Amino acid sequence: MALDMSTGYAAPSTSNLQDADASLPMFNVELVSLQFSISSDFVAAEVANNVLILALSTGRILRIDLDSPADIDDIDLPKKPSEVGIIKRLFLDPSASHLIITTTLAENYYLHTQSRTPKALSRLKGVSIESISWNPSQPTASTREILIGASDGNVYEVYIEPSSEFYRREERYLKGVYKTDDGPITGLWTDLVPGKPDLRRVIIATPSSFLHFAGRIGRHGHEGSGSIFSRLFESESATVHEVGNVSPSAKSLLAVSPERPETPSSDHANAERIFGWLTSQGVLHGKLFLSSDTSEIGGKVLSDSRMLPRSQLPPSQTPSGRAKKTQDPVSSMILSQWHILQLVEGRIVATNRLDDTVVLDQTVLEPGQSALGLVADIKKNTYWLFTTQEIFEIVVTDETRDIWKILLKSQQFEAASQYAKTSSQKDAVATASGDYLVGKGQYLEAAAVYGRSTKPFEQVALTFIDKGEQDALRKYLLTKLTTLKKSSIMQRVLVATWLIELYMAKLNALDDTITTKAELSESMNAAESQDQLSSIRMEFQEFVTKYKADLDRKTVYEIISSHGREEELLHFATVINDYNYVLSYWVQRERWQESLTVLKKQTDPEIFYKYSSVLMAHVPIDLVEIMTRQTNLEAQKLIPAFLNYNNITKAPLKQNQAVRYLQFEINQHQSTDAAVHNTLISIYASHPTDDESDLLAYLEAQSYAHEQNYDADFALRLCIQHKRVQSCVHIYSSMGQYVQAVDLALKYDDVDLASTVADRSETEPALRKKLWLAIAKKVISQSSGIKTAIEFLRRVDLLRIEDLIPFFPDFIVIDDFKEEICAALEDYSRKIDELKKEMDESEETAAHIKTDIKALEQRYAIVEPGERCYVCSLPLLARQFFVFPCQHAFHSDCLAKKVVELAGIARGKRIAELQMEVSKGTGVGAKREKAIRELDALVGSACVLCSEMAVKMIDEPFISATDDKEEWAL
Domains parsed from the chain with CATH numbers:
38-120 (2.40.128.630), 405-545 (no CATH), 566-769 (no CATH), 876-952 (no CATH)
Asked if 584 contacts 599 with a C-beta cutoff of 8 angstroms, the reply is no
Residues whose CB is less than 8 angstroms from the CB of residue 122 and which lie 6 or more positions away in sequence, other chains included: 169, 171
**Amino acid letter at 70?**
A
Q: What pTM, to 2 d.p., does this model score?
A: 0.58
CA dist 66 and 50 (Å) reads: 5
- Residues 152-175: tens digit of each pLDDT: 999 999 999 887 765 567 788 899
Task: In whole angstroms, give the CA distance from residue 803 to residue 792.
Answer: 12
The fraction of the chain above a pLDDT of 70, given in percent, is: 82
Query: What pLDDT, in 10s, does the model give residues 514-563?
Result: 777 654 444 456 667 778 888 888 988 899 889 888 999 899 989 988 98
- pLDDT score recorded for residue 682: 84
HSE-CB for 40 with a 13 A CA cutoff: 15
pLDDT given for residue 174 in this prediction:
92
Q: How many CB atoms lie within 10 A of CB 923?
A: 13
| Strand (E) or helix (H) holding 516 | helix 489-516
Q: Give the Cβ contact number of residue 527 at 10 Å.
A: 10
Contacts 24+ apart (CB under 8 A), 444-449: 444/469, 444/471, 444/472, 444/475, 446/472, 447/472, 447/473, 447/474, 447/475, 447/476, 447/479, 448/475, 448/476, 448/479, 449/413
Exposure string for 613-642, b = 16+ CB within 10 A, e = fewer: ebbbeebbebbbebbeeeeebebeebbebb
| pLDDT score for 836 | 87
494, amino acid identity:
L
Strand, coil or helix: what is 544?
helix
Closest CA to 61 of 22, 115, 15, 17: 115
Cβ–Cβ contacts within 10 Å for residue 391, how many? 24
Give, in degrees to the nearest 5, the angle at Cα 224 between 219 and 230: 50
pLDDT value of position 444: 86
SS3 string, 421-469, reads CCHHHHHHHHHHHHHHHHHCCCHHHHHHHHCCCCCCHHHHHHHHHHCCC
Distance CA 584, CA 153 (A): 90
> Residues in the chain with pLDDT < 50?
1-21, 519-523, 811
By the 8 A CB rule, do 397 and 24 touch?
Answer: yes
Q: What is the largest CA-CA distance in the chain?
A: 175
Phi first, then psi: give them for residue 109, nearest 5 degrees. Answer: -130, 155
d(CA 633, CA 599) in angstroms, rounded, equals 13
CA distance 291 to 289: 7
Query: Residues near 16 by Cβ (< 8 Å), separated by ≥ 6?
Result: 357, 358, 359
pLDDT tens track for 611-633: 888 888 888 888 888 888 888 88
| pLDDT value, residue 23 | 55
Angle at 618 (CA atoms; ends 605, 636), nearest 5 degrees: 35
Distance CA 288, CA 301 (A): 6
85 backbone φψ class: left, alpha, beta (φ>0; ψ -120 to 50): left
